[in-house]
Amino acid sequence: MNKKIWIAALLVTVMAVAAGCGSKPTAAPNQTQGAGTENNVTEVEGETITEPVTAEPEENTTPTESTEEGSSEEATTTTPPSETSTEKPATSESNEKKTITVFYTDEEELELHKASAEISYASDDAKYKAAFESLQQSKDAKLVPLWSKEIELKSVQFKDGALTLDIHMPDTARLGAGGESYALDALKQTFFQFDEVKSLDLLVDGQQTESLMGHVDLEHPMTRSE
């Protein structure tokens, strides 16, 4: 009986000691701590002291990228100045000049009169055309052209000494018998002064006609008289 009592008393003592050890307060972590703040808990007999610890800010290990604004140069298109052509158009100065003899009549159509005229040309065809145009105009009021300006020289052909002139003659440019004869003589003497011209054929609108103005026979071709 005494042994049971003693065991019961021992159990009570052990339970009392165990109860005393389990009654020590434990500090719960502060749930309201701010972000980045840690609390150190120090236990003192019967008290719990909480020391706030402030965490050092994390260093930004990412280097700051500095963006430099590149000075953008505006692309400018420079248009080169237009080149001015230095080539000059062909003028009469680049042509050959020649003084020739041309033939006119007087106001009464009594005879032929010769005069000088200067022509400018770049080819043989142009030379013959210029000679014909000289027969159509006169600088002297007393010398009358037998070939009117109304007469059109349509074409000029020269080959192997043979010169062919094709003209268009309106009715208003026609002369009488004496004027027609002088006109043909003036034409022959003007063109036969060119040594290379051996014969002269005069066409009217591309056709060989029997007479130029209806009074005098027209030869096809007219030849140089020796």
Q: Is the pTM of this model over 0.75?
A: no
Instruction: Delimit the domains of the chain by residue range.
Output: 93-223
**In contact, 172 and 149? CB cutoff 8 Å:** no
Non-local CB neighbours of 77 within 8 Å, separated by 6+ positions: none
User: pLDDT digit of tens for each residue in the chain (226 aa)?
Assistant: 566 676 777 776 767 666 655 544 444 444 444 444 444 444 444 444 445 444 454 544 444 444 444 444 444 455 555 444 444 444 445 589 999 999 999 999 999 999 999 999 999 999 999 999 999 999 999 999 999 999 999 999 999 999 999 999 999 999 999 999 999 999 999 999 999 999 999 999 999 999 999 999 999 999 987 6
Report the interhelical angle of 124-135 vs 177-191 (nearest 10°).
150
**In contact, 223 and 199? CB cutoff 8 Å:** yes
Question: How far apart are the C-alpha atoms of 151 and 179, rounded to whole Å?
Answer: 15
